Amino acid sequence: MARPYLGNPKYTIEVLQKYGFVFQKRFGQNFLIDTHVLERIIEASEITKDDFVLEIGPGIGTMTQYLAEAAREVTAVEIDDALIPILKDTLKEWDNVTVLHGDILKTDIRKIADEKNQGRPIKVVANLPYYITTPIIMGLFESHVPVDSITVMVQKEVADRMQTGPGSKDYGALSLAVQYYAEPKIVANVPPNCFMPRPKVGSAVIRLTRHQNPPVTTLDEKLMFRLIRASFNQRRKTLSNSLKNSQELPYSKEEVEAAITECGLPLNIRGEALTLEQFARLSDTFSKLNK
């Protein structure tokens, strides 16, 4: 590698000093400084020269350089003004990278996919700020942007939550939502010393491979997710109590209990015991009530 790759901590420090860069706590900035982890992310995301990649939060361009080598084209969206001139410098050797200055939650990703990839499914890769992981991932899924896979570095605990099943303490609304849209697989655990500055918690790289079709069908997807959220809002309560106390749901105690019974579930069951399939069935039972 003749070019000065940022996976080398020495070069990262030089770049930060050159620009007098100060880490912003509000953006949750932790830059990767481990070439093995960077290579593992590229390998796990299965990027080829045919792929268009959207990178969220490129930082100083460490992973962007690796993505640019592997992909046909990369668009990186960065929110921090101070990083834009640094990215111009660190990515100047690559002509297949576009840096957009903006907030990913307000970015029209579908438009980018249409312009850069003729509307074909894109691959998303990111080292995500932990405080905003869930809104970004759910935003990508719920907006039905054409996405093939999302390979992201997240807090270890969040990766565990995405992958786990019923009955575990980590199981919740995020587990069900992710598993409805994609197949999650943790591909690497990453200790704090692989970052600058070092975070207080461990991280993991997780790959979410988008389902062609969801593993369950339901008459009303939005209602199913309202039921899921209500079930976990007060997770120590029974499913019946959680649903009838929810502000989001219009059902009476009698309707809630009738629907739970019709699905063959005991009235004292908790939401955390239900599979995605059972939530879909429960949602359809409520949908028929509305008719």
> pLDDT tens for residues 211-225?
999 999 999 999 999
Identify the pLDDT of residue 231: 96
Lowest-pLDDT choice from 21-35, 56-70, 100-114, 176-190: 21-35
User: Residue 29 burial (CB < 10 Å; 0-12/13-18/19+)?
Assistant: buried
Instruction: Tell me: is residue 30 an annotated ligand-binding position.
Output: yes
Residue 62 has pLDDT above 70, yes or no: yes
Instruction: Tell me: is residue 189 an annotated ligand-binding position.
Output: no
Instruction: Tell me: is residue 46 an annotated ligand-binding position.
Output: no
Residue 251 has pLDDT above 90, yes or no: yes
The answer to whether the beta carbons of residues 209 and 183 sit under 8 Å apart is yes
Identify the pLDDT of residue 128: 83
> pLDDT tens for residues 200-214?
899 999 999 999 999
Confidence bin at 30 (pLDDT 50/70/90): confident
Identify the pLDDT of residue 225: 95
Element (H, E) at 151: strand 147-155
Rounded Cα distance between 51 and 160, Å, is 28
Q: Can you tell me the mean pLDDT for 250-255?
A: 94
Q: Can you tell me the mean pLDDT for 132-147?
A: 90
Instruction: Tell me: is residue 57 an annotated ligand-binding position.
Output: yes
Identify the pLDDT of residue 3: 60
Instruction: Tell me: is residue 32 an annotated ligand-binding position.
Output: yes
Residue 152 has pLDDT above 50, yes or no: yes
**Helical H segments across 109-197, by residue range:** 109-117, 133-142, 156-163, 173-181
Orientation of helix 276-289 relative to helix 221-233, angle to 10°: 110
Instruction: Tell me: is residue 274 an annotated ligand-binding position.
Output: no
